[in-house]
Chains A and B, each alone.
Chain A
Amino acid sequence: MATAKSKGQPTANSLKSGRWVASSCKMCLHSCGNLIHVTDDGIINKIEGNPTNPSNNGKLCPKGNAAIMRHYDPARFKQPMRRTNPEKGTGVDPMWEPISWDEALDITAKEIKKSMDEDPRKILPSIEDFQKFNIWAWPLSFGNFNFYQSGGTMCGGAYHPINGFIHSAFGCANDAKYCNYWINNGTGDGFSSHLHAAAQANWVAKARTERNMRVVSIEPRLSIGSAKAEEWIPIRPATDRHFAMGMSHVMIKEGLCDYKFLKRDTNSPYLVGEDGLFIRDENRQCYIWDAQNDCAKLWNDKSIGKIALEGNYEIDGKACRPAFQVYKDILEECTPEAMSEITTVPAETISRIAREFAEAAQVGATMKLEDGRTVPFRPAGYNYYRGAQGHKHGAQTNHAFKLVNMLMGNIDAPGGHMGVVLDTKEVDINHCVPGESGMLTPNPHQLGPTPPFAYPPNTYHLMDYFPLGVNPPHFNLLVHDDPAHFGVEFTPDVIVNCHSNPVWAMQGPRTKWFDFLRSMRFIVCVDLIPTEMTDWADIILPSSDVLETWNCTMIEPPHTEGQSFRQPAVPPLHDTKSEEDIFYEISERMGILEAYNNVVNLTLGFEGHPELMLELDKKYTDKEIAERKGKLWNGEDIDWYMERGHSVTEKRLDKWYRPWEGSRLHFYIEDMLVERDKLKQNMEDANVPFRDEWEWDDYQALPSTTLDPVHEEPPEYNLYAITFKDIQINFGESLSNPWLKDIVYRDPVHTGLLLNPKTAAAEGLEQGSIVFVESPYGHVYGRINVSEGMHPETLGISNALSRMKSKDSGVLPAGGHFNDMLPYDLRNTDAATGQPETVCKVKITKLDDWPEFLKDGHTVYDLIAKNEQAKGKGGQH
């Protein structure tokens, strides 16, 4: 016993003598408000939610509760280190040698600068700190658009651009405050994952328990959300779009839509020509068909008597249809029966959900808001995320979900389906800008500028060809396989890695990624603890953690806005620095300090605020940056923030409900076709050799029923495989944390590959069978857990069973990596958005025993066996 009990003193950690520091969480990429208790001895011994933060209302998820164990992880990097073992590999001891900060920074800057001087494109950034966009944007300082982190395609490659098109927002969610009928399709929002998990779970639970909000969950696996839902609708993976289109078919067929909304608030009446583009006049203004006067009129013509949504018309001899009619024609074949064939969801279920949803939406109802506006009241929303949207035809899939909502007129309406902005930076900024022909300005690039078209490409992941998309980092491997094929004229040789674990997070076989990493001349990792990736580093630059640093951030909080403030609860435990210190030091040594300050001014919105603008030749601390971000939001200084820990308030009504009022929403995304044609032309002009391989059909102004190619794999791959996280491992690194490990590997969904018992029997498998799982692209080993909560065609593989052993980390390997089984090619990537396919087809072979490399007694399954057999006092049973 380290310390004796002293009588009379509290032993409960939160009551020990000490102080509370108001700060913000970073155990996932979001930022719930928390209170950190520091004892008189300077020990952090309790973290609770901050009850004054209206986002998480004093609540924290299991990860937020476990932050202390990351802070005190004995494996934390304690000082800068240099590799002495020339052999690199995940799990291979780099034989670290401590060095001074000066030496580490000098080496790092010298090595990066060497590449920068030769060709800045040779630098591969992998900077995943989503709470510090000033760090994220660092590569722009030398015009580098490379991207080697999983953010984007492994979260919402297609999701974010479509949210940008429809809401001019980064994320989306349903309005828990008024929603009465909540559809979750392939998402854990409100239950286990995505936006501010603890906060959203709190809001959604209140809606469920206080208002009896009905939840319908559509997904192949009975997740937490499905278990809590009033109805779980199991669905074949990668067919969610077809479910949504089946619903839309019923809604249109039965006349259940909000036609007033469609006519006034969307571009669905705009007339579309046979080329798919809007018919426009010489001033590029669009037309609407006036059914009363039976003629086309400009969209803003006050004399339009009756707006036509349906019908086939002619303007100057050119055939045209309202955009709504175009979708109606597409949906003609999407009968519930036809969609049932594809989704395995019974036709009557599709019809019933469509009718229930429409009834709950209360089309026609309005609500008077406190700001004086009367707006549509639509207490039903169709919400979705990674599981449903992460497919080859991601753009169309996201769009199909949005259209279910649009048909109900619930976009950004109380109770409906809401755009969720990432960060408006200032209290009084509205993110919506009126655009051409009365339409909202689409904003598909929520994370800043993308590189212009170029051939030969200037990025190693071909971002030059994604004018609408998020970065497809898996293409780094595609190009690495054959750079000449893609005309790439440079070879990346330096990776700058910060809080990113791409070698764990990305699709494609690990063996190939290892080969990719071996080709690097120099890798620097800025991180806290060892990961699969840090094993590859040449230099470790240890960063201080969330309990030791300053920050101010707003990251897509669903119902609130404002800055989550971070301040050090304690001084750094080890010889570590903030990310700001590290990147400023590197920038100065590389001679790019001025450029970097310019980037930060732009990225954080200091531009135009002289009092906040960074001076170009100065280095700034995390505290100075945080202070400015706080001031930018509401003018308050850092003392104000230090006392409160946040400036979070419920969203301002004009920014939350119909912030685009007066503009029409993009029911029909013409830009998809416009940008496709521009890209096509650019590729033709530049004579890009792989232009015929480009998947041009992926660009659609409206969703189609085209099947994702995953359904067309060879028939011997007879099952689908999906991966999932749950709230204990939501977002990034969790399993090096002993508290999280203590709950994850006791939870039956994380202790084996989940398979429906009937399927298992048909495959000759049973509970506990050891199996070899193979996709056309890769394989994993595992052990079967039978579960009635699995769609019979689907194998479920928890992300907790996809780790590798890395040096000094408590993370345990399981038997491979789900992502090894995913393709990383053009065929399985959405050419419109860069979204790759995230499910695969597999076949399962039963094994008599584990392969030798999994028999050393130190895998996840050994830990699970210990928990399941409950050894300990009384011995094994």
Chain B
Amino acid sequence: MAIEDKVFSGDTLRSGYRFQRHWDNSMAYAFIFAELGAGIYFISLLMNSLTGMIVGLVLVSTGKPYFHLAHMGVPSRSWRAMLRPDRSWISRGLLGLGAMIGTGFLYVIGLAFGEQFGIAADSGLLGLLKVASATFALVVMCYQGFAMSHSTAIGIWNSAIIPMASLLYSLSLGVAGALVLLPAAQTGGLADTQLLLLLGLAVMHVMLLHGGWHGSPGARTSVELLLQTSYSKWFWGMVIATGIIVPALITWAAPGNALLAIISGLAMLSGFCTWRILIFKIGVYEPILSMNPFHSAH
């Protein structure tokens, strides 16, 4: 069974696999800004890097909503998206996002200017804001993955690996951000963490491919698309080599080199962006009924 045995029907009246085309690149960019920004904020929070926190918050509060609104059919009604947190990950995420931005900025303001108003950095209020914003950042880091994995429609998305991927990418990009933003002296141990996270990402990709290959016909088709079509050079070249192997080598060989940390971070970011776009592009719906043996479950 190979990809060439399958029918991709486009928007025709031919039965076959249909590409997911509803979530486009602007949705991918929104996801990127959210996971990148929340990751940087979260790690910066742990590392007490005010600059990092601000960078993270700015990324989350600008790019994320901008690209979401660009995607939205009726942007003026977007506020309605928070109405159903009881069942929708989009609603939960939106609330989490709002809360993260709110508590995050309050915390940053508190840290920066709190002493002028008699609020100590270790005060209970700021501590509460810190914990709250970290928790909400975690929500933002993960919810997009849950929004994708929640329904069974697109096989490759319908996997616990997808939110895990969100979290791992978010954390690793956060660490990469910290490695760039913080002086080497303050990043003790982060390089090792980064190596672990990169290893985690590699394992995550193996699990996703493995799970997809043995998953639903649609999930397997997505894996085939990733590995057997023109997407494969992007996957191996950008997602794996540039996004994981190169930064791992840099982090292992030259921890603490500021220039290399920037290169490593950019490499990870480009791998991440490629993956975010690819995972949207390889999403397929399965034929509802098919007599083609290559279309049915294996």
**A: which residues have CB within 8 A of B?**
743, 746-748, 751, 867-870, 872-875, 877
Contact = CB atoms under 8 A, between A and B. Distances in A.
A876 to B, nearest CB: 9
Contacts of A873: 21-22, 24
Contacts of A868: 9-12
Nearest to B15: A748
B259 interface: no
If over half of B's interface residues share one DSSP class (helix, strand or loop), that class is named, otherwise mixed; here it is loop
A798 to B, nearest CB: 14
A400 to B, nearest CB: 35
A874 B24 contact: yes
Given A874-B280, A877-B281, A869 B10 contact: yes
Contacts of A869: 10
Contacts of A877: 8, 10, 19, 21, 281
Interface of B: 8-14, 18-25, 280-281
Contact of B21 (A748, A751, A867, A872): A872
B175 to A, nearest CB: 32
Contacts of A747: 12-14
Given A875-B25, A877-B281, A870 B20 contact: no
B25 A751 contact: no
Contacts of A875: 21, 24-25
A873 B70 CA distance: 12
Contacts of B21: 870, 872-875, 877
B78 to A, nearest CB: 17
B232 to A, nearest CB: 15
A868 B22 CA distance: 16
Given A867-B10, A877-B281, 9 more contacts: A743-B13, A748-B12, A869-B10, A874-B23, A874-B24, A874-B25, A875-B21, A875-B25, A877-B8
A270 B18 CA distance: 65
B14 A872 contact: no
Which of A743, A751, A868, A873 has most chain B Cβ within 10 Å? A873
Contacts of B24: 873-875
A874 B12 contact: no
Contact of A746 (B11, B20, B25, B280): B11
A506 B13 CA distance: 30
B281 A746 contact: no
A869 B19 CA distance: 10
Contacts of A751: 12
B11 A872 contact: yes
Nearest to A743: B13
A870 B19 contact: yes
A466 B21 CA distance: 60
A874 B19 contact: yes
Nearest to B18: A870
10 contacts: A743-B13, A746-B11, A746-B14, A747-B12, A747-B14, A748-B13, A867-B10, A873-B22, A874-B281, A877-B8
A874 B280 CA distance: 8
Nearest to B27: A874
A326 to B, nearest CB: 48
A545 B21 CA distance: 41
Contacts of B280: 874
B282 to A, nearest CB: 9
A794 B46 CA distance: 72
A869 B9 CA distance: 8
Which of B14, B22, B25 has most chain A Cβ within 10 Å? B14
Contacts of B9: 868
Contact of A870 (B11, B25, B281): B11
Contacts of A870: 10-11, 18-19, 21
A748 B14 contact: yes
A867 B11 CA distance: 5
Given A874-B280, A877-B281, A867 B12 contact: yes
Contacts of A743: 13
A869 to B, nearest CB: 6
Contacts of A874: 19-25, 280-281
Nearest to B13: A746
Q: Can you list the 8 inter-chain pairs with the closest CB atoms, starting with the nearest?
A: A874-B21, A870-B11, A870-B10, A868-B10, A746-B12, A746-B13, A874-B24, A877-B19
A101 B11 CA distance: 46
Contacts of B11: 746, 867-868, 870, 872
Contacts of B281: 874, 877
Contacts of B8: 877
A824 B71 CA distance: 58
Contacts of B20: 874
Which of B9, B13, B21 has most chain A Cβ within 10 Å? B13
Contacts of A867: 10-12
A676 to B, nearest CB: 49
A747 B12 CA distance: 7
Nearest to A868: B10
B22 to A, nearest CB: 6
A872 B10 CA distance: 11
Nearest to A869: B10
Contacts of B14: 746-748
Contacts of B13: 743, 746-748
Nearest to B21: A874
A748 B280 CA distance: 27
Contacts of B12: 746-748, 751, 867-868
B73 to A, nearest CB: 9
A873 B21 CA distance: 6
A874 B71 CA distance: 10
B188 to A, nearest CB: 44
A870 B284 CA distance: 13
Contacts of A748: 12-14
A751 B14 CA distance: 11
A698 to B, nearest CB: 42
A751 B9 CA distance: 13
Contacts of B18: 870
Nearest to B16: A748
A874 B13 CA distance: 19
A232 to B, nearest CB: 15
A748 B281 CA distance: 24
Nearest to B277: A875
A749 to B, nearest CB: 10
Which of B10, B11, B19, B22 has most chain A Cβ within 10 Å? B10
Which of B12, B14, B25 has most chain A Cβ within 10 Å? B12
A96 to B, nearest CB: 36
A868 B17 CA distance: 12
